[in-house]
Chains A and B, each alone.
Chain A
Amino acid sequence: MSADEAPARGWTPSPRELERRSARARQTRRRVAAASVATVAVVGGLAAVVLLSPGWPRVRESFFDGFHARESLPAIVDGFWINVKMFLIAEPLILVLGLAIALVRSSRSPWLVPLRGIGVVYTDVVRGVPTLLLVFLFAFGMPALDLQGIPSSSFFWATVALVVSYSAYVAEVFRAGIDSVHPSQWLSSQALALSRGQTLRHVVVPQAVRRVVPPLLNDFVSLQKDTALVASVSIFDALFTARDYANYNFNYTPYVVVACFFVAMTVPLARLCDWLAARIARRERAGVL
């Protein structure tokens, strides 16, 4: 309810309050005007720099050509479907694997010590290797092993590489979330005679997951883009298709088209991140009151 709405019973704003309101309105109008001027100046300035540059006509021809955009579109759509498919397959696997690694790393059972060690080495090594390199290693190296019963397609192994790379990051996000749950929650669970596993399952992990949703989504925005890395192992994804077209027709417009596709996919998720982060912040502030 805003203060401008119908006055409550027996109350009309005092002259001083009305004065303050009009002063606030004036301030708002001034701010809007300043923001508009600043925006026009900045955007106009940037546009001028680009459009008035000596090479702009040539850039427009080779990057922003309507004909080539239309020509390359169907193939790019097909290629982009591979990116989407890869993302949709990889994301749930990453969540499961990441949480599993985080749980193993925060376990105290003596039987899990070897797994814990592996978990530490896994996250350290995998995060240290560039994702592109992992894609190369998996897509070219694994099929060469001639393993029985495991697909040798580069799509399969490139997806595995992404899952391996991102699960290490996501595991650390989950672990940070688990560590961020206040020790008093452990204490009261212990006092209720819950076991460590029960405490994790019913008390700590649910709270941790709620807290790490924004950073997790952030990682997934990043994953969506990194599906383009598989172009480097000759998978006909959107980027590889665009490169193919560009090399054949000496025009780079398809790259811009692909960029637009990725933006169209990542922006909604990024907005979702912001919205969730704001909601959590609101809730935590409410808790303080």
Chain B
Amino acid sequence: MTAAAPVIEARNVRKTYGDRVVLDDVALAVHAGDVVCLIGASGSGKSTLLRCLDLLEDIDDGVIELNGREVSDPLVDPREVRRSIGMVFQAYNLFPHLSVLDNCTLAPRKVHGRSRAEAEAGARELLVRFGLGDRVDQHPDRLSGGQQQRVALVRALCTGPRLLLLDEITAALDPELVGEVLDIVRDLARAGTTMVLATHEMVFARDVATRVCFLDGGRILESGPPEQVLVTPEQPRTREFLRRVLPR
């Protein structure tokens, strides 16, 4: 634990859909430069946790703090919070009627008040860096899944977020396209980007994570450095899960 307040911290977070408890007493603190990988079976609460952190879902109990300030307060404007958080979804969710460039400049222009020229220059630079320089004026439908997901990453990065939330961003991709997206995330991790990502890519998690959290039934069962959680897990449930997903 460092002295500075975590970038984002969740304490005792509880989330239910009707009778179903999706998150149960979850605690998570993410410090600047952390790359936290959430692993666990489908339905274990990884995506819900990410959505709660982005205030896309109201939590049913507990506290979420951004830089030491409680943001789970109904009086806090969630837009204010999301300005400093970038989120990428499994299904890309690009805007189909806008070109790649317009997808990336919409939020910088409309939310962050940047001029069109400034926003476009920033977006172009990122798009070129991620190998999408020749796709700038195309519409998302013309792109492959991997390219679309890279655009979605650029779109999230264009606002200069302090925290990036990635929700199973390779789960909808063909195996051959997974690599190109993960390479970018790897670069971001190396550059010190603070990230929380839900993922099924265990090898990738081992490479980039500073911490891995294993979720099961809405609880964080085990949490620690990747070599511990992924290699010598303490919990039988974690061992069982890893046995099923790890390549033998």
Interface of A toward B, CB cutoff 8 Å: 184-185, 187-188, 190-195, 198, 202-203, 206-207, 210, 283, 286-287
Contacts and interface: CB of A to CB of B under 8 A. Distances in A.
Interface in B22-77: 54, 56
Contacts of B86: 191
Nearest to A203: B95
B51 to A, nearest CB: 9
A210 B82 CA distance: 29
B121 interface: no
A194 B110 contact: yes
Given A192-B111, A192-B155, A198-B110, A184 B79 contact: no
Contact of A191 (B56, B80, B91): B56
B39 to A, nearest CB: 22
Contact of B89 (A184, A198, A286): A184
B237 to A, nearest CB: 31
Contacts of A184: 89, 91, 93
B55 to A, nearest CB: 9
Interface in B194-232: none
Contacts, number: 59
B111 A194 contact: yes
Contacts of B106: 192, 194, 202-203
Contacts of A193: 79-80, 82-83, 107, 111, 159
A192 B164 CA distance: 12
Interface of B: 54, 56, 78-80, 82-83, 85-87, 89, 91, 93-97, 106-107, 110-111, 141, 155-156, 159
Nearest to B107: A192
Contacts of A190: 56, 78, 82
A28 B85 CA distance: 61
Contacts of A194: 79, 106-107, 110-111
Contacts of A206: 97
Contact of B54 (A191, A283, A287): A191
Instruction: Choose among B56, B79, B93, B156 the residue with the greatest number of A CB atoms under 10 Å from its CB.
Output: B93
Contacts of B107: 192-194
Contacts of A188: 87, 89, 93-95
Instruction: Choose among B94, B106, B159 the residue with the greatest number of A CB atoms under 10 Å from its CB.
Output: B106
Contacts of B94: 188
Q: Which 7 A-B pairs have the closest CB atoms?
A: A188-B93, A192-B107, A193-B82, A191-B87, A184-B93, A193-B83, A193-B79
Contacts of B141: 283, 286-287
Instruction: Choose among B85, B111, B156 the residue with the greatest number of A CB atoms under 10 Å from its CB.
Output: B111
A185 B110 contact: no
A143 B75 CA distance: 52
Nearest to B87: A191
B162 to A, nearest CB: 13
B138 to A, nearest CB: 13
Contacts of B54: 191
B82 A207 contact: no
Contact of B96 (A187, A192, A287): A287
A3 B50 CA distance: 52
A187 B79 CA distance: 12
A217 B111 CA distance: 35
A170 B97 CA distance: 22
B159 A192 contact: yes
A230 B121 CA distance: 56
Contact of B82 (A185, A191, A283, A286): A191
Nearest to A208: B97
A194 to B, nearest CB: 6
B181 to A, nearest CB: 17
B56 to A, nearest CB: 6
